[in-house]
Structure 1
């Protein structure tokens, strides 16, 4: 019954989308100086200006809006949107009236001015862009100060769903699923072409799930097989606008990888005019979206396509062009490790069996930056073998995600049916024998950390015992993660040394079902390993001890 209720819920959401305010970009065409332009905090506003030009390269015409208010001043680049139109795309966290004036080498744009009024946000699940916090530097936060529990889902080909269609119903459906199961980030490419490794023959029987190798999708003129780098494909980016806007509507962050080197893409030469034009355009066009995190490239130093110097230059270029200061990282741990001062958080890609220790080492090595494992080798199986990696069993993949969390870092979930060229947007509407993803495992994960604020925990390997320890002294909570094979775990030594526990309670959490045992009074037993823990051999579990009071030192 729950399955059918959930499916009905999603169906209703998709039906209702056109009847509610789905577009997060309010559009004002050719606004005058006295046009009333009003938007809410973190709402995206497009001011569209018509200005004819005889330039053969309108993308390269410079136009900047100088936006000023009582709290801040910004220099925001406009972008060309085809048909002699330029767009000032804007959002703000500040509730105030702001004024703008445009400076441009194009006379028809130069001197355009107006005022924008930003009112208080009315969307209860909207909290602003993702930022750092100097008082808690190893965690991520929203602009309104609330914690951002970075739980990502890899979907490289999201840009390709519904491409060429007026609506984006498939995209909405997939994003609605991710939202329902409480993922709040998609790791994605601006563009990918195809994979270089062997494809499952079964995929050929379902062309509706194959998005690799499409010649009709390309961010430049021409096609990937016959590229024309002289200009950009406006229609590609207009479609991409719909995708990013819908993600913003559903409060899902786009972890946007601007390049990818190992997906057979025909890119222009590094630092060429065409390369710079493409990179600049992406930054100009999407920086106003609060749900953007920049990533220069997937597999950033893959083979010999890019140098560390080139990646550094792209980061510097991003920071100069992005007037909103969105977070920047690079999908390459070697680069992040050697250039930690250039990135806002450390991105890792680690498949080793010793994942927990590797994550813990990184967290200790970079005490002032969040650690995010984008790719830990766990690629849950789907009906197609797309990229098996090191681990495909759903429970093992889940365990590796918990290993990242209990080392104090953030994590990403991969399902082979959606991470790469095979993209199944509606997995729960497939036949009964269809191998479906275990999205629910991550809903349970979020439920656990709703009850135990992750941003206040520290990885405490000293007291790992037979599991993994997270300690939250601020709220008086200890979490101990234990694999299902584990017979016994205890926080006895830590509790006795560091806490007063007269009012402490304990309970267990089942990582596969989301079930909590009853919260009972904590008892410190001398030989507790004679007691069986719940769900032994059935599910990994977390022991939760609450209401601890730190001892006065």
Structure 2
């Protein structure tokens, strides 16, 4: 196949000869710009050519460009596949002879780990296969992948979800790791251990033990890739924040305000010499899982982003088999952590090297190798992914308009029939980009709009910092006005219906949520009525509270309200009214 105008620039740039043709006819397309190279790579050649001034894209130039590109054969794709070694250890090695250690007991929904000391010749990351079958009370059966953790150490992790006696047996192509048996007791969970988060009542969430979970998320993409002092500061900030979900990337990030190298790289190698995608760096992944555990200790879900396009290391452009190996390694290492969510990508549609079939394959790999079936979604930039896909548990949404996003929540619920989590509604801050300079008032308004329309909105912060330490990427401290007001909303939601806030048929100018004839929550946003008339069904009496969502004041009105009545309001923005059946 030859190169054509409708081919993505990333694929053309990967071919030295094709790149030389571009340099010959349209060198301006290859010139550095203030935008990351990814914005060039995911566009087609034709799209970029048509954006050039007419003087730079004459008919003669364009015809010669396309003609010479068509004469170049497309590079044959190398998948990067490496088969496991058939006889990794000779028959002189005794079956199951590896040294093994396990705990005798583990809490329900906690990490049970089998540690094996085995062989390390060749490349154990690609040469060795390892898994175990876990059986509870001789009935419940689950499979878990094992992984190599360097220095001759292999691990198998599992999160038991039933109390009782569990047994396990390993299988492997390495004789010393095969046929190892053991058992342990799963005991009742401790007070703050409620299990992993699951979807509940179609549009909402709860922990596995039934405890309601209201996601109040924030974004901190590259916090784990900073210096230890900054990481600890981030954890200290989270400890006093209202947030119980954190969006974070596996891979480091290269973008505006993000120019530093990470603490560790995920693969052996370097930026200068390249990376060996067949050899994982155990220190990187040990650091990652420690940070996930740190969040778990704070009661925070780690919404882990597996891919993104903001890359200068080559992690966004791995070959098919390299992607697959990476995903299986992640599933093996991390799926036993109960506070884990999978996010296949941040802005999947910016990644030129991945097509729809790749994302579907990635989802299959994760879901098939995660025995605990954590929540999973994928996040968009321009166009939504098809959230009706059966593997998608909830919709992870980015804003679709500079101003209007949360207002669409109730319509998205109807369209997808799944929980709506607006993970990126914009950021409170003062940077130059429109997505990163909304006010605290507007951030809180978007949270309330999403809540009363039956969804969940996420926070982010991008205030300029002399050392480029912006919360949205690096963590550190929070400087904005919205977090404590978001915490106030969280309290209102926790005091609301146990099954969650669901939108009600509302007046044309004000959304509301609740349960008919039992609970109502009206939100007036940037409008500022001095009073409001309500017409409720006769026969039901209510207590009424006027809520100042910015000042965080709840004014419980005296008296009982029934049927048609008027409520006086202060004539200011960001007010809400709550009615609770007596």
Give the TM-score category using the shorter length: 0.7 to 0.9
Does residue 313 in structure 1 map to residue 361 in structure 2? yes
What is the aligned counterpart of 1:110 among 178, 188, 191?
178
Cα shift readout 1:302-337 (whole Å, capped 9, x = no counterpart):
152321111011001111111111111111284533
Aligned to 1:69: 136
Taking the aligned partners of 1:490 and 1:426, their CA distance within structure 2 comes to 40
Aligned residue for 2:261, secondary structure, equals coil
Aligned to 1:408: 454
What is the CA-CA distance between 1:391 and the residue it aligns to? Answer: 4.9
Q: Is the 8 Å Cα contact of residues 460 and 472 (structure 2) preserved in structure 1?
A: no
Q: Is the 8 Å Cα contact of residues 221 and 247 (structure 2) preserved in structure 1?
A: yes
Change (3 A) 1:53 1:303: closer
Does residue 188 in structure 1 map to residue 188 in structure 2? no
Cα shift readout 1:403-447 (whole Å, capped 9, x = no counterpart):
1112111111011157667524134xxxxxxx5453211211111
Aligned to 1:202: none
Aligned to 1:516: 554
Aligned residue for 2:168, secondary structure, equals strand
What is the CA-CA distance between 1:356 and the residue it aligns to? Answer: 3.9
Change (3 A) 1:363 1:443: same
**515-524 vs 333-342, which moves further:** 333-342
Does residue 336 in structure 1 map to residue 401 in structure 2? no
Aligned to 1:505: 543
**236-245 vs 351-360, which moves further:** 351-360
Aligned to 2:396: 347
**78-87 vs 506-515, which moves further:** 506-515
Does residue 464 in structure 1 map to residue 507 in structure 2? yes
Aligned residue for 2:360, secondary structure, equals helix
What is the aligned counterpart of 1:139 among 204, 216, 228?
204
Aligned to 1:361: 411
Taking the aligned partners of 2:99 and 2:552, their CA distance within structure 1 comes to 52
Aligned to 2:94: none
Q: Is the 8 Å Cα contact of residues 345 and 378 (structure 2) preserved in structure 1?
A: yes
Aligned to 1:275: 323
Aligned to 1:425: 476
Q: Is the 8 Å Cα contact of residues 467 and 489 (structure 1) preserved in structure 2?
A: no
Cα shift readout 1:350-407 (whole Å, capped 9, x = no counterpart):
242332442221111122x11111112x21016xx27541651110111112111121
Q: Is the 8 Å Cα contact of residues 204 and 499 (structure 2) preserved in structure 1?
A: yes
Aligned residue for 2:303, secondary structure, equals strand
What is the aligned counterpart of 2:575 among 541, 544, 549?
541
Alignment of 1:205-284 (within 5 A): 212-214=259-261, 216-228=263-275, 229-267=277-315, 269-284=317-332
Change (3 A) 1:438 1:355: closer
Cα shift readout 1:448-473 (whole Å, capped 9, x = no counterpart):
1121136343212x323532200224
Q: Is the 8 Å Cα contact of residues 212 and 421 (structure 1) preserved in structure 2?
A: no
What is the aligned counterpart of 2:494 among 434, 450, 463?
450
What is the CA-CA distance between 1:60 and the residue it aligns to? Answer: 4.7
Aligned to 1:53: 120
Taking the aligned partners of 1:351 and 1:444, their CA distance within structure 2 comes to 26
The structure having more radius of gyration, on CA atoms, is: 2
Aligned to 1:39: 106
TM-score in terms of structure 2 length: 0.76
Does residue 394 in structure 1 map to residue 440 in structure 2? yes
Aligned residue for 2:336, secondary structure, equals coil
Q: Is the 8 Å Cα contact of residues 153 and 187 (structure 1) preserved in structure 2?
A: yes
Q: Is the 8 Å Cα contact of residues 545 and 555 (structure 2) preserved in structure 1?
A: yes
When the two structures are aligned, how many residues end up with a matched partner? 476
Computed over aligned residues only, the root mean square deviation of the Cα atoms, in angstroms, reads: 2.6
Consecutive unaligned residues of structure 2, counting only runs of 5 or more, are 1-97, 464-468
What is the aligned counterpart of 2:483 among 395, 418, 439?
439
